[in-house]
Amino acid sequence: MEQHIKTSQDTNPWLEAARSVPAPQVPKTMHLSPEAPLLDDEVQVDLDVVIEAEEPRTVLVAAHGGAGTTTWSHILGAVDGGSVEHWVAEREPVDVPAVLVLRASVEGISTAKSILAFHGTEAFVAALIIPASPGKLPRRITSELRILGGAINLIHAPWVPDLLLKRAAHAAPSDLSAKELIKLTTMLTNQGIHTQGETP
């Protein structure tokens, strides 16, 4: 049997160079079925961290200009989805439904109704109503909100006068009293809306 002798013509410098580079280390990943038992407590902790990190944050979408999505996304630890047009264009089918944000005004409510009629109520888990002024709402606004509430769950944000004195990007959970923040996040949680701004 003839033995093939390697010559310089058989040697490919590119292949030789590639062979000399060590193979990258592939991190080990565990794929556990729901029925599979955990190995130890340490594995449980690691999995909890991964699950928490992958949980999507709620998206706040503005029904109109000046609705307050930037301010309230900072307060609640949610994602500022911008305008409805921007959100619809950028969102993926796997994205969580958004919260529609609007001012408690005739224009805000009317715009929200149009958005729900066009995109469907299933596109939003709830509507966050931002007060336009302190005190009791005018009767007409209350009536219009009652109609809107027949199509989508309404969550009322508190009136916070200090928010008028700062830029939206500087808003923080501390701008609300502990009682106000707990009440608001509890209402959101009851609607299945989870934010990073929740307090114990």
**Please, which pLDDT band fits residue 15 given cuts at 50, 70 and 90?**
very low
pLDDT score at 104:
96
120 sits in which H/E element: none
Six-digit token pair at 150?
A: 């027949």
pLDDT tens string 84-95 = 988 877 776 656
Among 69, 130, 132, 66, smallest CA distance to 98 is for 69
Alpha helices in 67-105 (DSSP H): 69-76, 84-90
Any idea where the domains of the chain sit in the sequence?
61-190
Six-digit token pair at 118?
A: 């066009």
